[in-house]
Amino acid sequence: MAKMDIVLCCAGGFSTTMLMDRIKQTIHESKALNDDDFTLKAIAADFLDQEVDHMDALIMGPQVAHKLESIKPLIEPRHIPYVIVDQDTYGKMDGATVLKQLLIAKRKADMAREAAGE
């Protein structure tokens, strides 16, 4: 697996840091995944434009889901897959579920790029 740079964004970057730590724990405890294959960074959504050129995937907290329309012009031209974490999963800080959703989104994006000949 190629190294994947994942950005998590929320309103302030604080609660997302807790979710990021859970995702790191999931990766670390996985027999199939390697810590060195992932970098994760939690930021406030307002700083996303500064990170977009350095990320392979985006995780959005439910509190910034309403910003998706303003975020799409940043990520879609770069074919950056994203997931919006639902309130229940976020409340549980369920890093395993979020990571699984993101890996599925990334695979679908990769398949679409391959089909388009990119």
CA-based nearest residue to 34, from 4, 57, 58, 7: 4
How far is residue 35's CA from residue 61's CA, in Å, rounded to a whole number?
22
Tens digits of residue pLDDT in 54-95: 999 999 999 999 999 999 999 999 999 999 999 999 999 999
Rg (Cα) of the chain, in Å, rounded? 14
Q: pLDDT (tens digit, 9 = 90+) per residue, 34-61?
A: 999 999 999 998 899 999 999 999 999 9
**Strand 57-60's sheet: what is its strand order?**
38-44, 4-10, 57-60, 82-84
Please report, for the chain, the start and end positions of each structural domain, with discontinuous segments joined by +. Answer: 4-115
Task: Report the alpha-carbon distance of residue 45 to residue 25 in Å, rounded.
Answer: 23
Q: What is 4-115's CATH superfamily? A: Response regulator (3.40.50.2300)
The pTM score is 0.92
